[in-house]
Amino acid sequence: MSIITIDFANDTSIRPATLLTTGRVLVLLLYLMVPFRLQADDGYELWLKYTRIADPTAAASYRRQLQGWRVVSEGATAEVARTELRRALPGLFGKTIPEAANGVNHQLVIGTSQSPLLASLQHTVVGLAPDGFVITHTRIQGKESIAIVSATETGMLYGVFHFLRLLQTGQPLAEVSSAPKTKVRILNHWDNLDRTVERGYAGFSLWDWHKLPGYIDPRYTDYARANASIGINGTVLTNVNANALVLTPMYLEKVKALADVFRPYGIRVYLTARFSAPMELGNLPTADPLNKAVRAWWQDKIREIYTYIPDFGGFTVKANSEGQPGPQNYGRTHADGANMLAEALQPYHGIVMWRAFVYDHQVPEDRTRQAYNEFKPLDGKFLPNVMVQVKNGPLDFQPREPFHPLFGAMPATALLPEFQLTQEYLGFATHLFYQAPLFKECLDADTYARGKGSPVSRVIDGTLDQHTLTGMAGVANIGNDRNWCGHPLAQANWYAFGRLAWDHQLSPSAVADEWIRMTLHQDAVVVQTIRAMLLATRETTVRYMTPLGLHHIMGWNHHYGPAPWIKDKERADWTSVYYHRADAQGIGFDRSSRGSNALGQYHPPVQALYNDLQQCPESYLLWFHHVPWSHTMRSGRTLWDELCYTYQQGVDSVAWMQTRWKTLHGKVDDALHTQVTALLAVQHQEATWWRDACLLYFQQFSKQPLPTGIPKPARTLEDYQRLEFPYAPGIRPKW
Ligand code: GCV
């Protein structure tokens, strides 16, 4: 759709008397010509655009059921619900739906179950998890009504957003009862106080620390609306590579200002705690978690934080990992460190999310085994308000990893899975990569912890081991780019994360469908085309980056582009050769019982699935095995040929996406079409680069020709190896 903006008021060539009529006629004409939107789609409105319902039959049916509406609760969250409905309904229907304070027949009534008007519906929300809601057809004061009701104000707001989603996606207004499957649905911002974002590809941090608390950017409210609309109820504002300054009064004032904006949306604020803060801010000689003065320092600090932010959520902590300080500096355990903070937070109902992303290059042990070695013995040693935060896989957010072996190994500990929405290893904000299939692959994986049917999702929603403190964390892909996430379609990952944290049983396809309808278009063919593209992106990227179980072969430090040749750095576990182990015999990391036995950390049925080279699913082959180049794959091809063809398939799939996207020309917003066309072209170029650089490099070991159909690389291996990207985004600038 093209941009149409006419500023009548500033057009001095039109005299005031005619301005009104001419203006009105033009507006009317424009409205008739462009019924659904008058502005270019810059992505800012996310999935809350509330464009006019395209199907007139559906619109008429909704209208019949919505003669008026009212929110019968009071308070800040009720006001947020009203504001959202005032914004949404005229957009969806093209005209205002009256607020009917005294009720009308066929009305929408919204409130908590404590509202006297909804008292008769109290029973419908009894037993629902906190913040669950019900949408039901009933009679209120004798009038036909649809009621949205929840035991909590936040649940009521979630119900409103769900109702709006039904309208936006053309669903029937049937009875709904919905409650979150996890409790802490939280974004982790790796945002620094200087506004750079570690591994951020969508501009600078949203948090304008310098202007806070005096200036409250309206964008903070839109951020909160977006999160509330998908059930996200927490945000960690700062990078896990933490800066203690955020705990000082000057910054706490600023954090408080953000918390005040987010509170009516049901969003709690959390911070990262730098473990050495008592030394850096408190001038103590130690940060030993068993030291009395250190404990007292944290208690005082936490008390102080709660004077600013009475509903402060707690801390995320990265300790003894990649140079961050931690309890092990003092010979203490992770549990000692986490419990010290947890004890101080406990009176205020705060929690600690203690990260299990730990590995030490001094330890002569497969890096993927180290977190389990460290944390498994601590099971049962953490206080009840501690969650151990575990990345989805045992390495580091690769395009494909098996699930982390800690899932299913710590039944006495609340585990919080961490996904990375920002695309550090997935093509930054340039490549289209819809992550819901990746999230689901992990959530659906069977740990066999309590026999068959013990998926990761049941570990983390608490049903497997009866935990009530549950959650899901996502490393945010949000920055201050106008469209929030850099790539105009990357918002789908933010959306999918929230939806799956609420209900991990939703399918990636259904979530994509919702997002497309709410964000881009309602036309069935457009929806189908984009959904097919989104669903293909995960496998596509795996194929052109890290096929057949390869991993960690990207550029040094910035992680941009292919670099399987990285070796001889200060840390072996940051190089590529450590992971692919290509040699004259074959390629891959033997993690079977004959190798590092990382597989031994999984339950026996999982071991049985992967341990045998002949049985191992080929998508994980080189993750678990060192495989001869001549190995016969299921296709009948040799490993070498299969590797070449899989890289090629990845490149071909991007070309397929380009063709699909081309068919949408004229059907989706022009500016969006142009932007995505350009980004897909870059993705194609980069997929080709990955294929050529990796195959040339691995060919040195396989010593075999490229099979028929694989094009000759455009450049030499040395050319690719010489490429440097001094200003690749996402790493902290060196001053
Ligand atoms: C925040 C990877 C990233 C780091 C990140 C780290 C982590 O190693 O490259 O930038 O640090 O993961 O998750 O702590």
CA separation for the pair 404, 23 (Å, rounded): 62
The residue assigned the tokens 């570690």 is 198
Compute, in angstroms, the gap from residue 290 CA to the centroid of ligand 1.
Answer: 28
The residue assigned the tokens 């500033």 is 10
Ligand 1 contacts CB of residue 190 (under 6 A):
yes
Q: Strand 234-236 relative to strand 184-188: parallel, antiparallel, unpaired?
A: parallel
Quickly list DSSP for 523-536: -HHHHHHHHHHHHH
Beta bridge mates, 582: none
Output the pLDDT for position 555: 97
Q: Which of 199, 419, 552, 558 to mutate to test the pocket of ligand 1 (most atoms within 8 A of CB)?
A: 199
DSSP H helical ranges for 561-669: 577-580, 604-611, 621-624, 639-662
> 601 near 636, Cβ under 8 Å?
no
Q: For 619-631, what is each residue's pLDDT tens digit?
A: 999 999 999 999 9
In 3-state terms, what secondary structure has residue 136?
A: strand
Backbone angles phi, psi at 698, to 5 degrees: -70, -25
Catalytic residue among 191, 396, 514, 641: 396
Ligand 1 contacts CB of residue 574 (under 6 A):
no
Q: Strand 143-150 relative to strand 176-178: parallel, antiparallel, unpaired?
A: unpaired
What average pLDDT is seen over the chain? Answer: 94
Q: Which atom of ligand 1 is nearest to the CA of 240?
A: 1
Catalytic residue among 322, 365, 539, 670: 322
Catalytic residue among 336, 401, 424, 642: 424
| Residue 7 confidence class, pLDDT cut points 50, 70, 90 | very low
Ligand 1 contacts CB of residue 552 (under 6 A):
no
CA separation for the pair 112, 103 (Å, rounded): 17
Can 366 be counted among the known catalytic residues?
Answer: no
Q: Which of 188, 189, 190, 196 to mutate to test the pocket of ligand 1 (most atoms within 8 A of CB)?
A: 190
CA-closest residue to ligand 1 atom 13: 357
CA-closest residue to ligand 1 atom 8: 396
- In the predicted model, is pLDDT for residue 546 greater than 90? yes
Q: Kindly tell me the number of DSSP H helices and DSSP E strands found in the chain.
A: 22, 15
Compute, in angstroms, the gap from residue 497 CA to the centroid of ligand 1.
Answer: 19
CA-closest residue to ligand 1 atom 11: 241
- First-residue to last-residue Cα distance in the chain: 44
pTM of the model: 0.94
CA-closest residue to ligand 1 atom 12: 396
Quickly list DSSP for 156-171: HHHHHHHHHHHHHTT-
- In the predicted model, is pLDDT for residue 719 greater than 90? yes
The residue assigned the tokens 């992505």 is 43
Q: Which are the contacts of 418, defined by CB distance < 8 A and separation ≥ 6?
A: 188, 355, 357, 389, 390, 391, 392, 473, 474, 475
13 CB-contact burial (10 Å; exposed 0-12 / middle 13-18 / buried 19+): exposed
Compute, in angstroms, the gap from residue 560 CA to the centroid of ligand 1.
Answer: 14
Q: Which helix (H) or strand (E) holds 364?
A: none
The residue assigned the tokens 């795996």 is 542
120 CB-contact burial (10 Å; exposed 0-12 / middle 13-18 / buried 19+): middle
Compute, in angstroms, the gap from residue 198 CA to the centroid of ligand 1.
Answer: 8
Q: Which atom of ligand 1 is nearest to the CA of 420?
A: 13
The DSSP call for residue 365 is S
Look up residue 437 and give its two tokens: 């299939």
Ligand 1 contacts CB of residue 731 (under 6 A):
no
* Strand ranges in 218-357 using DSSP code E only, listed in sequence order: 234-236, 268-272, 314-317, 351-355
Look up residue 418 and give its two tokens: 């961490």
Q: What is the 3-state secondary structure (H, E, C) of 497-526?
A: HHHHHHCCCCCHHHHHHHHHHHHCCCCHHH
Can 396 be counted among the known catalytic residues?
Answer: yes
CA separation for the pair 207, 191 (Å, rounded): 8
| Residue 734 confidence class, pLDDT cut points 50, 70, 90 | low
Closest CA to 106 of 20, 23, 173: 173
Q: Which atom of ligand 1 is nearest to the CA of 559?
A: 9
Q: Which helix (H) or strand (E) holds 690?
A: helix 670-702
Q: For 568-614, what is each residue's pLDDT tens digit?
A: 998 999 999 999 999 999 999 999 999 999 999 999 999 999 999 99
Q: Which are the contacts of 430, defined by CB distance < 8 A and separation ≥ 6?
A: 201, 486, 487, 679, 682, 683, 686
The DSSP call for residue 496 is H
Ligand 1 contacts CB of residue 557 (under 6 A):
no
Beta bridge mates, 417: 390
Q: For 462-516, what is each residue's pLDDT tens digit?
A: 999 999 999 999 999 999 999 999 999 999 999 999 999 999 999 999 999 999 9
Look up residue 185 and give its two tokens: 């649905």
Q: For 30-56, what is each residue's pLDDT tens digit?
A: 434 444 444 578 999 999 999 999 999
CA atoms within 13 A on the CB side of 571: 14
CA separation for the pair 38, 241 (Å, rounded): 43
Can 724 be counted among the known catalytic residues?
Answer: no
Look up residue 302 and give its two tokens: 């936490």
